[in-house]
Amino acid sequence: MATTFAGEGFRLGLCARGEPTAPQGAEARTASIDVTDAEALDRFALSVVERFGRIDLWVNNAGVLEPIGPLADADPGAARRHVDINVLGVANGSASFARHVRSRPGGGVLVNISSGAATTPYEGWAPYCASKAAVEMLTEVVAREERGHGLRAYALAPGVVDTPMQALVRSTPLGDFPAGDRFRGLHRQGGLNSPEWVARFILDRFVDGSPASEGGGVVRFRVPHQRSPE
Ligand SMILES: NC(=O)c1ccc[n+]([C@@H]2O[C@H](COP(=O)([O-])OP(=O)(O)OC[C@H]3O[C@@H](n4cnc5c(N)ncnc54)[C@H](OP(=O)(O)O)[C@@H]3O)[C@@H](O)[C@H]2O)c1
């Protein structure tokens, strides 16, 4: 996604626990940040604003899938860590960006990456389904709270995307994730979305000043299939 945004002339602020590599030729600030650390995330946002002047688009993309398997077998510590990242991490990012948008003139676009798992119950993914449902509702609330400040907030389910997380899904034993065959089949048939496709959806629907980007107050979006599985 960063590569696609950079190709459209965006300057980037990129963070993850492992410091991301900026796309070649991109103007970017990068840092090693854990999204559960609200203060560190705020400091990073400030450093991006100091470098580039303002932030117009903020994507809360960081997320984890584990623990996978029946909830009854899950380590409570792992479930707590999951919620810390997938829910509180998104809350931290959303709050930080909302404060930034309030502090300067003009609007801003917040995109919180959700999942089809927010609305489809998958056995083996109790924390993940719950955390993504929480992301969608959190985004609905933030959209209402911040609309008057010019912030537009969206929860975006990106489809099944070709990333390391999907490799993890395919390698999970059926006993822990009974729906695994569906994802293995999609991969075999070339039915996965590319990260670039997701980034283009964000630019076309949420950022560009087309009427569709207003969304008519709609907050929850689903990225369509890039190609039909053969
Ligand atoms: N792939 C799919 O099919 C799919 C479908 C629906 C939704 N999604 C969602 O899309 C988003 C991106 O997933 P992905 O498929 O790209 O997964 P991924 O390949 O596992 O990448 C996850 C990213 O999140 C970062 N991250 C994880 N925990 C973090 C933390 N505590 N602080 C900061 N960064 C953290 C990781 O970097 P570090 O490990 O270096 O921190 C990595 O860059 C997630 O929210 C996921 O739930 C993916």
CATH numbers and ranges of domains, the chain: 2-160+194-222 (3.40.50.720)
What per-residue confidence (pLDDT) applies to 227? 87
Nearest CA to ligand 1 atom 46: 63
Ligand 1 atom nearest the C-alpha of 36 is 31
Gyration radius (Cα) of the chain, Å: 18
**Among 5, 128, 154, 206, the one annotated catalytic:** 128
pLDDT profile of the chain (230 residues), mean per 10: 98 98 98 98 98 98 98 98 98 98 98 98 98 98 98 98 98 98 97 98 88 72 86
Give the end-to-end CA distance of the chain in Å, rounded to a whole number.
Answer: 25
Instruction: State in Å: Cα 165 to ligand 1 middle.
Output: 7
pTM, full prediction: 0.97
- Is residue 122 part of the annotated active site? The answer reads no
Q: Which of 19, 165, 177, 186 to mutate to test ligand 1, by most ligand atoms within 8 A of the CB atom? A: 165
